[in-house]
Amino acid sequence: MEQSPLDDVYRLALTTLRNVNGQWRAPDEQTLTGNGMRAVYELPRNTDLQLAMQSYHQQLQLAGATPLFACSGHRCGSSSSWANEYFSDRRLYGLDQFQRFASYQIKGEQGDTVVVLYAVTRGNQRSYLLFDQFNAVNRVNQTPSIDTLKTLLDEGQRFELPILLSEGQWRVQEDYLALVQRLLKTEPTTKLALVVTDYRNTGLDNNLANSKAIGIALAQQIEAQSKAGRIRVEGIGSLAPIRRQQIDVWLLSYR
């Protein structure tokens, strides 16, 4: 592992990079100020990059992180542009089909902490993983794109849906509601599962029943326009091995 401090200004890419007038930039990016650290790991041979990124994804979500942008393989564009232009580390130049990028934010009282991951396998079969953690004094205002949501679900990762209580009803936050509805519209073969936990009561039976009811209400809200019946609801009450909040709602895809 190699560690180094980051500059106090950080360009956070929220899309893949594009060559515009000879410069590689993300069409959608935010400039953050603060401080942070970078770690670069050389992974053991034959490491499955998808599983490695999935492990980080799960740990970050348990820490309260929200995905901002994710891509994999050729959808990330040129590995050379990420390695040489964005990260300025030629070790990260690998095969386009064997690369993965993901960024996350963790909201704080004074600002946001941003985590950026980039994993790649080179032509010599060496694999590297970059981990940036930047503590920003400003906020990141970004809802994941449909491509990011699809990437995470296709890779077998769970996606946390933020919900709120409105007029006695649990509802999906509006921007995330629109995101999931668009996914169902543009991906007609995709099947989704809503997994809901509920730790508000001490009795397991109550938690199981309540989590199921919440899940059904959320699924009806999501499918109000399409009536597609492609959302499976699993209310697991207080049976989740790890608790994050009193009520957690996770979105997954299944076959």
SS3 of 69-81 = EEEEHHHHCCHHH
N residues, the chain: 255
Assigned fold of 159-254: 60s Ribosomal Protein L30; Chain: A; (3.30.1330)
* Number of CB atoms found within 10 A of residue 99's CB: 25
Instruction: Please give the backbone phi and psi of residue 253, each rounded to the nearest 5 degrees, phi first.
Output: -105, 150
User: What is the arithmetic mean of pLDDT over 217-222?
Assistant: 96
The continuous run of DSSP H or E covering 139 comes out as: none
At 140-184, the pLDDT tens digits run 988 999 999 999 999 999 999 999 999 999 999 999 999 999 999
Tell me the two tokens of residue 107. Answer: 């909201």
Residue 20 has what pLDDT?
Answer: 80
Residue spans per domain, the chain? 2-142, 159-254
At 78-129, the pLDDT tens digits run 999 999 999 999 999 999 999 999 999 999 888 899 999 999 999 999 999 9
Burial class (CB in 10 A: 0-12, 13-18, 19+), 104: buried
Tell me the two tokens of residue 117. Answer: 């991951």
| pLDDT score of 241 more than 90 | no
* Number of CB atoms found within 10 A of residue 241's CB: 4
Cα 104 from Cα 125, distance rounded (Å)? 27
At 23-67, the pLDDT tens digits run 888 999 999 999 999 999 999 998 999 999 999 999 999 899 999
| Residues 172/221, Cβ–Cβ less than 8 Å | yes
